[in-house]
Chains A and B, each alone.
Chain A
């Protein structure tokens, strides 16, 4: 039996009047890659952003139901949001390196959480960049601006930046959708490797990608979780007619 790391029970989210997540119940296991699939606007990003409370930034959001991380209620009033976000890292759809050097980008998180020691920082930066499979490409230009990197490199830098705070869970929102096939392959390999130490939840529009690298898949439709199960099972024998229609490309 796998350890559960995140579970939702009857989770609802409203953007004002718009009911964007409808009664979601899901159990996400530890050290696995969970893929979230579904047509545009079905609430994948919304669900992902609910997990690390990024939706707190948006006014008029209302959330009901239960969502727990290692048994802790994420939306409990006493929840420390910065601590939660430190444990649940996020990689965004559009690479968003800060306008500073490559080194400072990776060191941003550790510095924020109080690491000042230069030797320690050097260590973390190298380890994270290696972890994100970009060390060899940037080791000679750590002091150069991160904005000079290619899109694929920027995205891997963002992964390194997220790894540097040693998160427990990594959320990736269409992290490869802006990238070429080679960069995408690199990030997929990376994800496959990272799952030895991290729990990864990734949104993807790419069925092949979901089938290739994920262990579990969740299919969302119009704010509902239609089906959730082992990827292999789901792609060979979907339980729900709507899932079948979607993964065989009959709509969406």
Chain B
């Protein structure tokens, strides 16, 4: 009985207190609000300035050294040329070989995990593992890749060993993004196809994969970005050679050519040879390339989603 009486009173008191504090609070809140907004603005401003300065500085230092000759020749004392064509070629090779290995494996694994595997426990464990693996530093992959491919498989310092390592490194990301987009395909589509007497693989090939192609392509392009931007693995496993490779001359060449990609070339110029001008020119190339890759990921993803 007494308790029942107390209740409304306290409620009223709280209400009154709220009211009389209202004015002071709104004053304080205004200042607090302004201060906070200012702080956020400051942070945003600083970040932007830093970014603009960074990009601006790279272009300022790099652009004057960039020329068609720089992009289309290799370094040669005889001809007096100074170019990064080998690095561009090596980068393309690494991106190509890595994707050719990682894409089928990753998409296949994702399809197995989401469409076939029936042991939920196992799937959750593997999903957790891939998530963790996609976050660990690349130098760890480099270490494992070096031991596995360069030493054990005898590939030495070579772009093939580097590509294999990078494939390993990109697998978790490709599996994750593919899985995510497979999961967005409505269950009704699967049941509809199976209900018409379609076999499971036929259903996956004709309904599920086309329905998730946007996610797969986006994941793939982001992987390309990661490969282009990677340096630790390539330095460790791929070698630093700056001359043209003829990968397709023989199987031996294909497997054992070593060489520098763009990021490694940048490192060589800047750190080993203290040639800052060409280093900045390479930086401009990398910056533009990264921008284009991200743009492609956005545009292609959007295009495919609209279809």
Contact = CB atoms under 8 A, between A and B. Distances in A.
Interface size on B, as a range, is: 10 to 19
A96 B196 CA distance: 12
Interface in A17-51: none
A96 B194 contact: no
B196 A92 contact: no
Contacts of A90: 191, 195
B199 interface: yes
B194 to A, nearest CB: 7
A167 to B, nearest CB: 9
A89 interface: yes
Contacts of A86: 196-197
B192 to A, nearest CB: 5
Contact of B194 (A57, A83, A87, A94): A57
B123 to A, nearest CB: 12
Contact of B195 (A85, A97, A99, A113): A85
Contacts of B198: 82, 108-109, 112
Interface in A78-137: 82-87, 89-90, 92, 94, 96-99, 108-109, 112-113
Given A98-B189, A99-B211, A109 B118 contact: no
A201 to B, nearest CB: 14
A173 to B, nearest CB: 10
Contacts of A96: 186, 188-189, 191-192
Given A84-B197, A112-B197, A158-B192, 4 more contacts: A89-B196, A92-B192, A98-B192, A99-B211
Going nearest first, the 3 A-B pairs with the smallest beta carbon separation are: A86-B197, A96-B188, A90-B195
23 contacts: A54-B195, A82-B198, A82-B199, A85-B195, A86-B196, A89-B195, A90-B195, A96-B191, A97-B192, A98-B189, A98-B192, A98-B193, A98-B207, A99-B189, A99-B211, A108-B193, A108-B206, A109-B197, A112-B202, A113-B197, A161-B192, A161-B196, A162-B195
Interface of B: 118, 120, 186, 188-199, 202, 206-207, 211
